[in-house]
Structure 1
Amino acid sequence: MHVEKSIVKVNDFIAVEDIMQQRTQIPTYERIAIDLANRIYDGKFKVGEKIHGRSTLASEYNVSPETVRRAIKILEDVGIVQSAKGSGIIVSSRENAFKYINRFSSLETIKDLEKQMKSLFSKREELDQQIFDTVNKIIDYSGKLRHTNPMVPIEVEIVPGCSHIGKTISEVKFWQNTGGTVVGIKRNGKLIISPGPYASILEGDVLLIIGDEKTYDRVMHFLGE
């Protein structure tokens, strides 16, 4: 009966071994000790019962008897099993098995969190660089368009204190003073297309203006008067 249960557990151990190796650099003998502690805590090996001999365990885990000996030595040191010549390996404490598993789980969790943190920092740095590069491209692209394509509108916000607030585009003689044509107004999250000469200029408006390469400077000067 013990052999059947052990085979199931060994299969589980083999299935997760690669994952555990990837997650943390734990020696093989310690992973075997952890697995045996789990089997003891789960009741696969009960207190007072004998665990299979080292040779049998070495075959089950596909490792050398020396590796199994080191795993058993760990369990002895923390009071989970007792080992004596002629008596074999005897389970002595399920409670200690739980303490050992819990201690390992905590350490593993910390290591996982450290890896996750390093990974997040790395991703954040990569993302910051991508954002920086994209912003530079936008600035560079916008600058080139302003000089090469007069049909691409520039955007100018009407800030508090502007002397033209409340007046219409026609009243301030916008085109005559700036050489730019207002083709749209962004207002309260909405876009007004082709507002016309009688549209009022309000605080917070963003004017969309087309013109030549000097239009932007003339507009900023005019609105700042």
Structure 2
Amino acid sequence: MSTSRQPRYRQIALDLADKIAHNQIQVGEKIHARSKIATTYGVSAETARRAINVLADMDIAQAQHGTGAIIISKQKAMDFIATEQAGFDLVSLENDLLNNIEDQKKELDTMADSLKTFLQTSQRFQQLNPLKPFELVLDAPSDKYGLSLSDLNFWHQTGTTLVGIEHDGKLVISPGPYVSLEQGDVIYFVGPDDSVAKVSVFLFNQ
């Protein structure tokens, strides 16, 4: 059990209690503050006295004015150790929880940074690459079939730019103004998000 955060006198009291619990110091034995405790632990007489006072407060020892104390209870020494251990366990648990919270915060910060990088990369990708064209199969009847793109005034009517037409399995890229649309063709165009709806309304009145 770690006692490094406790005052020195309380560390000494706990060590003495441990010795009592393990019969290294017997009940009925007298311990002297200055000659034994101060010398053994390398502390001042005042620190030794305060350690004895802790044992007296816990009913482990009976203080004798000016001479030290007599050990009176092994069970109380064991109870004192158990109480200190429980307190240490709570502190350890608190530290573990705080460390876990800190670790989770770091993980969330890392995820936030990754998300930010992803969004920035996505924006750059969209800026550096052409728009992916929309695709529409001309499988419904239309009165626009057979008319050229010029006659249809396709761009002005739909607000989209026709970039390709697939006819009989052949793809024509950037079709000219005289190319006509036929049922069964697949057309490819770019424009705003509602481009498919606009083209469908124009060609099929739907």
TM-score of the superposed pair, with normalisation by structure 2: 0.60
Percent identical pairs in the alignment equals 30
Is the contact between residue 178 and residue 219 of structure 1 (CA under 8 Å) also seen in structure 2? no
Contact 1:49 1:90 in 2 (8 A): yes
AA matched with 1:55: S
Tell me the amino acid that sits aligned with residue 71 of structure 2. V
CA distance in 1, matches of 2:65, 2:75: 25
2:62 is the alignment partner of 1:82: yes
- RMSD of Structure 2 on Structure 1 (CA): 3.6
Whichever residue aligns with residue 108 of structure 2, its letter is D
Given the alignment of the two structures, is residue 115 of structure 1 paired with residue 100 of structure 2, yes or no? no
Task: Flag the 1:219–1:139 CA change in 2: closer, same or farther, 3 A.
Answer: farther
Question: In structure 2, the residue corresponding to 1:123 is in which secondary structure?
Answer: helix
Instruction: Check the 8 A contact 2:33/2:67 in 1, yes or no.
Output: no
In structure 2, list runs of 5 or more residues that go unmatched. 139-160, 165-187, 199-205
**What whole-Å deviation, never above 9, does each CA across 1:2-41 have from its counterpart, x for those lacking one?**
xxxxxxxxxxxxxx8xx632xx3x2111111111101110
For 2:116 and 2:72, locate their aligned partners in 1 and report how far apart those are by CA, in whole Å: 67
Cα shift at 1:216: 9.3
8 A contact 2:33–2:45 mirrored in 1: no
Match of 1:148 in 2: 128
Name the residue aligned to 1:128. Answer: 108
Task: In structure 1, give the amino acid aligned to 2:26.
Answer: K
Asked which structure has the greater CA Rg, the reply is: 2
Number of aligned residues: 152
Alpha carbons of structure 1 residues 51 and 219: separation in structure 2 relative to 1, 3 Å:
farther
The Cα shift of 1:149 comes to 4.1
Determine if contact 1:37/1:98 at 8 Å carries over to the other structure.
yes
The amino acid of 2:62's aligned partner reads Q
Map of 2:83 onto structure 1: 103
- Secondary structure of residue in 1 paired with 2:3: helix
How many angstroms apart in 2 are the aligned matches of 1:64 and 1:221? 90
Question: Which residue pairs with 2:40 in the alignment?
Answer: 60
Q: Deviations over 1:144-195 (max 9, x none)?
A: 1132146xx98xxxxxxxxxxxxxx9x958xxx9969xxxxxxxxxxxxxxx
CA deviation vs aligned residue, 1:119-142 (integer Å, no higher than 9, x gap):
222222222121111111111102
Aligned residue type for 2:123: G
Secondary structure of the 1:63 match is: coil
* CA shift for structure 1 position 87: 6.7
Gaps in structure 1 of 5+ consecutive residues: 1-15, 155-168, 181-210
Equivalence for 2:31: 51
Change (3 A) 1:172 1:63: farther
Partner of 2:71: 91
CA distance in 2, matches of 1:56, 1:83: 15
Out of 12, 20, 43, the residue aligned to residue 3 of structure 2 is 20
Q: How far off is 1:88 after superposition?
A: 4.8
Deviation, 1:52, is: 4.9
Distance 1:48 1:106 in 2: 28
Distance in structure 1 (CA, Å) of the matches to 2:191 and 2:19:
79
Q: Post-superposition, which runs of at least 4 consecutive aligned residues in structure 1 deviate over 6 A?
A: 177-180, 218-222
The yes-or-no answer on 1:39 pairing with 2:19 is yes
